[in-house]
Amino acid sequence: MTAETILVIEDEPALARLVRDYLTREGFDVLVAGDGEEGLRLVRETDPSVIVLDIGLPRMDGIEVCRSVRSFSDAYVIMLTARGDEVDKVVGLSVGADDYLVKPFSPREVVARVRAMLRRPRRMPDGVGSARRFGDLAVDLLAREVRVGERVVELTATEFDVLAVLARSPNIAFSRAQLIDAVWGGGWVGDERLVDVHVGRVRRKLGDEAADPKYVRTVRGVGYRMGAG
CATH architecture classification, 5-118 = 3-Layer(aba) Sandwich (3.40)
Whether pTM exceeds 0.95: no
d(CA 216, CA 65) in angstroms, rounded, equals 29
CA 44 – CA 162 distance, rounded (Å): 26
For 13-45, the pLDDT digits (tens) are 999 999 999 999 999 999 999 999 999 999 999
Every domain of the chain with CATH number 1.10.10.10 lies at 131-226
* Domain boundaries for CATH 3.40.50.2300 within the chain: 5-118
- Indicate the average pLDDT of the chain: 86
Q: Which amino acid is at 80?
A: L
With respect to CATH, is domain 131-226 assigned 1.10.10.10?
A: yes
Low-confidence ranges of the chain (pLDDT < 50): 122-129, 229
At what angle are helices 13-25 and 107-118 packed, to 10 degrees? 50
